[in-house]
Amino acid sequence: MLTSLLAMFQQGLPVETNPMIWLGLIGSVVLLGLFFLTFLVKQYKRCPSNRILVVYGKVGSNKAAQCLHGGGKFIIPLIQDYAYLNLEPLVIDIPLEGALSLNNIRVNVPATFTVGISTDPVLMNNAAERLLQLDDQTIREQAQDIILGQLRLVIATLSIEEINKDREKFMALINTNVAEEVNKIGLTLINVNIRDITDESGYIEAIGKRAAAEAINQARVDVAQQERDGATGQKLAEQERRVRVAALEATSVEGEVRSKRDREIATAQRDAETVAATKQAVQEQRIQVAAAESAAVEGENKSNAEIAESNARLAEIRAEARRKADVAAAEAAKAILTAQREQELARLRKDELAKQEIEKTRVEIAADATAEKTRREARGEADAILATYTAEAAGTQKVLEAKAEGYRQLVAACAENPQVAPTLLMIEQLPALVAEQVKAIQNLKIDKITVWDSGSNGRKNGATADFLSGLIGSLPAMHELAEQAGIELPSVLGRVAKTGTAPAVPEG
């Protein structure tokens, strides 16, 4: 359609006369717009809430990557790309065993750490630089190594008592040290769960048993004191009750005496009023007075008897109270002595256990020192042997380099006459060859040497001539061997003709 429109423009035809061309043009533009819009939509990347969008490539501001948590970002084709970091927590089991504490006791601290990639801008950049496109297992292994090291470091700064009792301080140190280290790779510490703390020597268990024994002994002492206080209070309450009863009885006796006195006064008044009465009246009065006196005496005696009985019962109650108080005091003293005995036994066990722990630690330190000494001696011997071999290799290399330089200079010096170089090299090795030949016969004991010459043996020449002819006959073989080895013999040994003829023998 666009081609037809251009052809019409070139031909000068009016475009408005063909509406189909305009429709085609508009449709093409719309299709191009839709295609471009689809491309733009695909290049716009949105970041979900449980992920971090990392845009890398050319992101400006001298940054290696740009991190977004939430929202979206348009990715420029060819110069930018993207990836996601997962924000889901990672649970890491730390089976820490044999960590050395401040008092040189090895403890086992199995724990579970929960970490995750942080949404802090600085930590997101750290995670983008160090954890991008790594799987969860690799991230978990890196975090586990960091946490193990920091956990051992924290335990080394605390004693067993601090680790076992002051858990708040222990957890604070773990959170501080571990969080600071994992932040370097973009992770944040979410939770720490210490499952249990044990030691191989049983020191923590012994501390627990000692604390339990002390608590039980203290409870027994408290119970004995409470029972003693209860018994004493009960006796005191009963004594007070009896005292109040006795006081009431005394008040009753006093009332009776007062009534007697009032009666006597009334009688005297009646006697005074009846002075003029008859003797019968006086006699009756005397009889009544005597009866009253008898009753008064009887009442006084009865009251005194009741008071004495009350005092006796009070004395019995006091004696019983003192007896029970003494029994309670004796039982309390017995409980205290029992608790002191248990405490002394616990202290003795603690001292013995401490000596055994000290001896064990001393043996471990001595064993570690012996092992370290052996390792260092072996390392020193290995370094000495390596240094010897290195020196020998360096010396051999220097000798070979010197020989190579000498050979190079020899070859350069013999450039005009190449056959001289092999001759000189053979002359250089001649003393060594002679020395080896001497070694072959140096241990032989020879008194004398006799040379037998059989004469010509039917030939014209003697043995010396045969030797010379044999030497000349071996020259072709020597030349052939030297040619195969790439060596040119000196001219004194003649030349081998290429036509297969005998070599030319020099005169003389």
Sign of CA dihedral 415, 416, 420, 424: negative
pLDDT at 393: 85
Confidence class for position 256, pLDDT limits 50, 70, 90 = confident
Q: What is the C-alpha to C-alpha distance for residues 419 and 417, in angstroms, rounded to an integer?
A: 6
pLDDT in tens, 373-430: 888 888 888 888 888 888 888 888 888 888 778 777 777 777 677 666 677 676 676 6
Q: Which two tokens stand for residue 111?
A: 């724990």
Q: Indicate the SS3 state at residue 501.
A: coil
Q: What angle do CA 305, 310, 315 make, to 5 degrees?
A: 125
State the SS3 of 232-281: HHHHHHHHHHHHHHHHHHHHHHHHHHHHHHHHHHHHHHHHHHCCCCCHHH
H-assigned helices in 446-488: 463-473, 475-484
Query: Is a pLDDT exceeding 90 seen at residue 113?
Result: yes
Provide the β-strand partners of residue 193. 112
pLDDT at 114: 92
Q: How many helices (H) and strands (E) does the chain have?
A: 11, 9
Q: What is the C-alpha to C-alpha distance for residues 469 and 462, in angstroms, rounded to an integer?
A: 11
Mean pLDDT over 45-57 rounds to 87
Return the closest-CA partner of residue 2 out of 25, 20, 18, 23.
25
pLDDT at 500: 46
Return the closest-CA partner of residue 199 out of 161, 145, 255, 227.
161
Top mean pLDDT of 200-214, 246-260, 360-374, 477-491 is at 360-374
Confidence class for position 91, pLDDT limits 50, 70, 90 = very high
Phi, psi at 316, each rounded to 5°: -60, -45
pLDDT at 103: 80
Query: Is a pLDDT exceeding 60 seen at residue 89?
Result: yes
Q: What is the C-alpha to C-alpha distance for residues 97 and 43, in angstroms, rounded to an integer?
A: 51
pLDDT in tens, 157-166: 888 888 877 8
pLDDT in tens, 209-250: 666 677 777 777 777 677 777 777 777 777 777 777 777 777
Q: What angle do CA 430, 432, 437 make, to 5 degrees?
A: 95
95-to-112, 145, 147, 195 alpha-carbon distances in Å: 8, 11, 11, 10
Percent of the chain at pLDDT > 90 equals 4
As a CATH number, domain 86-200 is 3.30.479.30
Start-to-end CA span in the chain (Å) = 109
51-60, 169-178, 238-247, 378-387: least confident range: 238-247
pLDDT at 441: 66
Query: Is a pLDDT exceeding 70 seen at residue 261?
Result: yes
Q: 363 — alpha (psi -120 to 50), left (phi > 0) or beta?
A: alpha
Q: Which two tokens stand for residue 434?
A: 């002679």
